[in-house]
Every structure is written in C-alpha cells, then in structure tokens.
Chains A and B, each alone.
Chain A
Amino acid sequence: MSEAARVRLARWAVILAAVAALEVIPRSGLGDAITLIPLSEIIPEFFELLVEGEFTPHLVATGGAFVLAFLLAAATGIPLGFLLWRYRLLRRTLDPYLTTYYAIPIFAFYPLLLAVLGFNILPVVVISWAWAVVAVILNTAIGLGEVPEVLVKVGRSLSLSRWKVLSRIFFPAAVPYVFTGLKLGMIYALIGVIASEFVLSTRGLGYLVSYNYVNFSTAAMYSAMFLILFLAILLNWTLSAIERRLYAHG
C-alpha cells in the first residue's frame, strides 16, 4: 500500500473511531443518561425534525444572514484589499492593526449592535460581515502583492495600458489568493452567524441549539448541533476542493 493510501486509511479510522465514541460513550454509563444521548437515538430525531420542517425557518434565517454577510464581505473586502495594496502608506499604517484584528473578541460588539439596530437579522449580518471582511481584505492585498515581477514586466514590454495591466495580469494572477480570502470569509461568516444566533437572538440554527438547551430538549439540541456541523463540514470540504484545483492550475 502506498504512503498516501495508508495516511487516508488511518485518517478514516480516526474519524470512524470518533463517530463510534459518540455511540459508545453515552451507552457506557460513564456520564449522565439524560444529557448524553447515543448517536443512534439522535439520528432518527434529526430526520423526524427535518421531515416535520422544524429546521426550515431556522435554516432559512441562518442561510439568509450567512449569504448576506458573505456577499457584503466580498463586495467590500476585495475593493478595500485593492486600495490597501495600491497605497503603501495606507498598508503600512494599518498593518499592525490588521494583524491584531482577529485577536479582538469582535463578538463583544454584538450586544452593542443589538442595542443600536434592534433584535433582527441586521446585527447578525453586521457582526458576521465584520468577522469575515478582514480575511478577504488581507488575502486580496497579499495576492496582488505576490504577483511575480516577470509577469508585470511582460505587460510593460507589451506596453499595455494601466487598466489592462490590472485586468489582464494582476487580477488573474491574484485569483487563487483572493479565493483563499473568500474561502476564509465564508467560513468566518458562518461562524459569525452561528455564534451571534447562539448567544442572543430569536431565530436561526444557533438559536435552535440554545433554545433546546434552555428547554431541556436534549435530543433536539443535538440534532441542531449535527445540522450545523454537517453544513460547516460540507462547506469547508467544497471550498477546499475548489481551492486545490485553483492552486494546481495557477
């Protein structure tokens, strides 16, 4: 067996062992039978809630806030990243602040946004946008900065106009980096939406977990957790697959 195949096999074994633990540990009697429910009892509950449409309004709320926050992050992050790359003083000024940005517990601003914007979808979208946009900005600026000098020289030797150099050389060459930024932005936007819904809101999948926790509906709570994790894993997996292709061609 090749090294790569052995690695894949071992990885699947680890993942399966983790899933098996979700079944075995609750049944072992090590913990509390009310709070620890075996996987085989959660899955039917999950499908029941899914078929009954219990998830639907929350799925729509989370999905809507996520798409909105991500689109806003992309629409503002790419131009801002471009400005950051274009203006050296701006980049060097903001550099220490941008590197510190993700150390700041941005969700501390969420109550503030709730107080200002009210209990609706807006604070969720704004906080998720704020969490996602900086990743897009940074990766766009890095990507444009990493364009090889050779390509720029080719452009000059062909005496392309400024706009053509940008549109034919800089932007295409920066695509993989910008995509990495958008990928991170998407992941952060999802984390932002789930986190703010979970902490304080009135709808969404994150809210569904906290609602069921507060009401002791443990099986329903686990079902909502599984839905969130399933969607997040699906998203990460799809984005990583696309990213691998982009870098392979780039």
Chain B
Amino acid sequence: MADATASKPGATWLRDPVRISQLLFPVALLILWQLLAFALGDFFVASPLASLRALAEGAGSWLGANAGVTLFALVYGYGLAVVIGVVVGFLLGLSRFAHAVFEPVVVALYALPKVALYPLFLFAFGLTVSSQAWFAMFFGVFPIIIFTMNGTRNVGSVFLKVGRSLRLSRPQLFRSIVFPAILPSLAAGLRIGFGVTFLGVILSQMFAAKSGLGFVLVQSVELHDMPTMYGLVLLLTLFAFLVNGAFLLWERRLTRNHPEKSDAF
C-alpha cells in the first residue's frame, strides 16, 4: 500500500511525508541512544560512537571468528528448518484429513516456550555447533510448516482442474501451477522462520557455548564491557532487520503478481 509512490522517480518520494518520517525514525532512535548515554554515563550506556569503535576494534580480532560461528550455525539451522519445514508442510497440506489433525498440534508447538528444552539438544549433540543448529531448527521449523501447509491447502482446485485439462504431467503441474500458488505463503513462512531460527541461534549461544556472538554478548556482561555489548546488540539488530527487509521485498514482489494472496505478518 505504501508502495504506490515507489515507482515514481526518487525526487517525488523524498517529498512523501511518510517516507521522510520513516527515514527519520532510526535517526531519532540514534539520538535517543546518544542522549541516554549522556544522561546515564558510560557505566550503563555506551555511546553509539564507542560501540562502533568496539566493533571496529573487534573486526581485527574476536569479531570475525565469532560472527563466523554464529553465521555457520544460522545457515546450518535454517537449512534444516527449510528442508524439514517445506517437506513436512507440503505433505501435511496435501491431505485435508492430515491438515485437520496436525494443524492445531503444530500451532500449539509453535507457541510453547521451547527454549527450556535446549538441554535435550546438548545431550544429543554435546557442546557443538550442531546442537545450536538443531535447536534453532526446532524454533524455525514450525512457522515454515504452518505456512507451507496452509499454502498447499489453499491451492485453488480451479487451477488444478485447468492444469489437468491442459494434460500437464505431474512434474509440470507442480512446477507451473502448485509451486507458484504456494510460493507467496511459503515466502512468509520462510521470512518468519528465519527470524525465529536466528533467535534460536543467539539464545543457544547465550546459554552454553564457547564461541559465537551470543557467547561474546554474555561474556561482555561478566566483563562489564559495555561498548562491545551495545555494539553487538546493534550488529545483531541491524542484521536481522536487513535480512527481514530483503525477505519482505521478495514477498511483496510475489504478492504483487498474486494480489488475492496477501498474507499479513
């Protein structure tokens, strides 16, 4: 809806008050952060500049290796979540009966405080990246199952009939009708699943790990290293925001082609 102006040249959207205030919002947060740093002092709040400096200093030493561990656990866990979530969601969505049986169960599992089950993953995989990745998968897989399942369920029977009347083969039917019909819903599941998987990685590294950004974060509490802590929080927030933004743009492009299928957040 806010994109009506996006197709016009840049000069016009800069005059749009919504765009301007959207751009000003992070600036306002930055100013607020700076003011808090002045008001409370650097024992409690590291200034934005000090936090960036801590990150820049870390870039030569601890940051690269630990960010690498976090990124690896994230890719590993998200890969598992996507593969398992899409396959399970698709299979459950194919049958009306299976969908009716499992949907409330999956939704209930999604809403449970699963974080306290992390020791089970530590028992299974030890203090390794694998336990972080499988735990993160356990967070991220449920939204992916739910959205894929509902997307599959909602593939219009008219579309399928058209496909059959065109005598499409099964792979053709899947490629040109079923998959494009599921995609907008799947994309929303992939976006939400990513966010939750990322949260799972950070939480698991905060709880018990020897490396990773979550580990450094908790360590910086013990060392009372405020600039590193604020810098890391900024880094993690920006990363999540940017990846989610990319997913949203993709989703918007997909739903623009299928205007009847707009999924809310």
Contacts and interface: CB of A to CB of B under 8 A. Distances in A.
A163 interface: no
A36 B123 contact: yes
Interface residues of A, number: 56
A7 B101 CA distance: 5
B243 A103 contact: yes
A209 interface: yes
A82 B111 CA distance: 26
Interface stretch (B52-60, B77-85, B174-182, B200-208): B200-208
Interface in B237-265: 237, 240-241, 243-245, 248, 265
A157 interface: no
Nearest to A200: B218
Interface in A35-72: 35-36
A103 B220 contact: no
A98 to B, nearest CB: 8
A48 B245 CA distance: 50
Nearest to A188: B111
Given A99-B265, A111-B218, A116-B45, A187 B243 contact: no
Interface stretch (A8-16, A73-81, A147-155, A166-174): A8-16
A221 B198 CA distance: 26
A115 B116 contact: no
B22 A93 contact: yes
Contacts of A232: 111-113
Contact of B112 (A94, A103, A233): A233
A213 B131 CA distance: 15
Contacts of A213: 119, 122
A244 to B, nearest CB: 12
A187 B104 CA distance: 16
A180 B163 CA distance: 39
A105 B236 contact: yes
11 contacts: A11-B101, A103-B241, A105-B195, A105-B237, A108-B214, A108-B236, A112-B233, A199-B203, A200-B206, A206-B115, A233-B112
Interface of A: 3, 6-7, 10-11, 14-15, 31-32, 35-36, 89, 92-97, 99-100, 102-112, 114-116, 138, 187, 190-191, 194-195, 198-200, 205-206, 209-210, 213, 221, 224-225, 228-229, 232-233, 236
